[in-house]
Structure 1
Amino acid sequence: MEEFFASLYEWFGPNPFYSKDMAELMRGWDITCTGYIGTPWYVIIGWSMVAITIASYVLQYHIIDSSKFNKKHHWWIVAAIVVLFNFLNAFLIMNNTIQAGDYCTQDNIGISDCIGLGLSNAIWSFILFILLTSFKYPRNLGINCSHTTFWKP
């Protein structure tokens, strides 16, 4: 799973949002600068992004599922909340790690790297939310919001 999330967050090539040192930290480069035996942040942040996005989907389409909450602007409100929560999740986790000094001191990592990771996480969560709400099944298990999608609000 680490390679899967790493390829996503690194955008299948050189990452446009954060530095190579941040990518090394995300892969688990340890504090002693000796190997990839540290915390695998890609996996942690990737799975939390998936969980937050799926929970938001379930909340909108299967728990709330109200006739008052099935308009186009409601989909965009939930999508904005998903994007915001996932941005903050990635940004705060990595910013706290950097502030605590839990990374190789030879790496040049700053706040802009945390913002870039948060932005990358937000974009992927938006893409995942679009995909989740685009497929008919299990969206059609909901009654009122089953026709509210990105493509056909």
Structure 2
Amino acid sequence: MVATVGAEVWVMVDGWEAAVEAQIRSAQQRGEFDNLPGAGRPIPGRGLPYDESWWIKSFLEREALPTDLLLPTPLQLRRKVEQVPDEVRDLPTEQAVRAFVAVLNAEIIAWLRNPSGPRVVVRPVDADTVVWRWREDRQRVAQERAASASREDVAPSVQVRRRRWLPWRRR
């Protein structure tokens, strides 16, 4: 009796597969598979070893998302702390710099109160140190601009005016 049940199941599966194959053949004859995107190109990743997270990586690439989103919270916070000088460089005032540091420190303290993920040391950022570096960077940039402006004043650029060649003008 088990054999007959198994045979009936195989008959049903064969019938279902035949119906699907018939639909595929009729779609091919109608030309529904012609001019599909990627037709004639090799399958991406074919020949490479299997990667379990291939779909996550392709999603991040397709949506142009940063890979930092996959990091655990403490590593994301460490990355943000490392990027503080670059983030505050273009801020206009000291208050804006302090506000940025305050927001980052609030995130760090919230994580320290309820840590999750790997045990990674993350300390709040010292706002005074960040402001001091921000001031030094602004002074250095201002000095470089002043030096380049004084060099331009000393040696003004000589503009050579060229005559346009026009086909109807005789030489």
TM-score range, shorter chain: 0.3 to 0.5
> Larger RCO: Structure 1 or Structure 2 (Cα < 8 Å, ≥ 6 residues apart)?
1
Q: Give TM-score, length-normalised by structure 2.
A: 0.31
Q: State the structure with more CA Rg.
A: 2
